[in-house]
Amino acid sequence: MKHAVILAHPARKSLNAAIARTYAEAVRQLGHEVVARDLYAMRFDPCLKASEIPGPKAPVFRPDVLREREGLADVDVFALVYPLWFNAPPAILKGYIDRVFGMGFGFVPAFGGTEPNLKGRQLISFSTSGAPDSWMRDTGALSGLMSLFDAHLGGTCGLKVVDHNHFGGMVSGITEEAFAEVMTKVRTSATAHFRAHPPRAA
């Protein structure tokens, strides 16, 4: 299988960056291929352009979007790694989804609407928050995110939502034990979901 690990955090030494590396290492050990997309390091422009919006005329996509779509064309699993800011994914990730997963890639025109274009692919997410897990659960913040973001993205594009691993209470200066526990859970999730899939033929 081929995994696109899409990281949306500006700090290279962040917990999110470590999660992305650990996930990539875990699936590589299973014999899978990884495409790393560090959105901040790429300086990806998240602003949707007027020309990219479907309308009376066919949308016209800029070179950065076309490059991303080409690089993701044969990806089997999209792994999103991001923090929650104001209970939502960072703007750069939302903009990446808007521009790259829009018309012509995530879905295509169909009579009376659109048709999912990524059927058979999978979506797995890893998110973090400073708010503890109990708060995320009791306020409905995580369930709301999974409904409005994960499920909608999956449904619109035809992706199977495999899992959403959230780590709450992640603040500066977490203990080494807490960090190790997060990495163990990331490896366990990757292995549990994808070890049954054989590596791609050479």
pLDDT of res. 200: 47
Percent of the chain surpassing pLDDT 90: 86
Helix or strand (DSSP H, E) at 115: strand 113-116
- The overall average pLDDT reported for the chain is 93
pLDDT digits (tens, 9 = 90+) for 13-45: 999 999 999 999 999 999 999 999 999 999 999
- Superfamily of domain 2-194 in CATH is Flavodoxin domain (3.40.50.360)
Burial class of residue 21, CB neighbours in 10 A (0-12, 13-18, 19+): middle
Q: Which has the higher per-residue pLDDT, 130 or 201? A: 130
d(CA 202, CA 188): 26
Measured distance CA(84)–CA(128) in Å, rounded: 6
Q: How far is CA 155 from CA 94, 107, 120, 129, 180, in A?
A: 16, 10, 12, 25, 34
Residue whose entry in the numeric block shows the structure tokens 């044969």: 74
Mean pLDDT of 98-119: 91
pLDDT at 202 over 50: no
pLDDT per residue over 43-74, tens digit each?
999 999 999 998 888 889 999 999 999 999 99
- The structural domains of the chain, with segments of one domain joined by +, span 2-194
Counting Cβ atoms within 10 Å, is residue 148 exposed (0-12), middle (13-18) or buried (19+)? exposed
Please give the model's pTM, rounded to 2 decimal places: 0.93
- The count of other CB atoms within 10 Å of the CB of residue 51 is 12
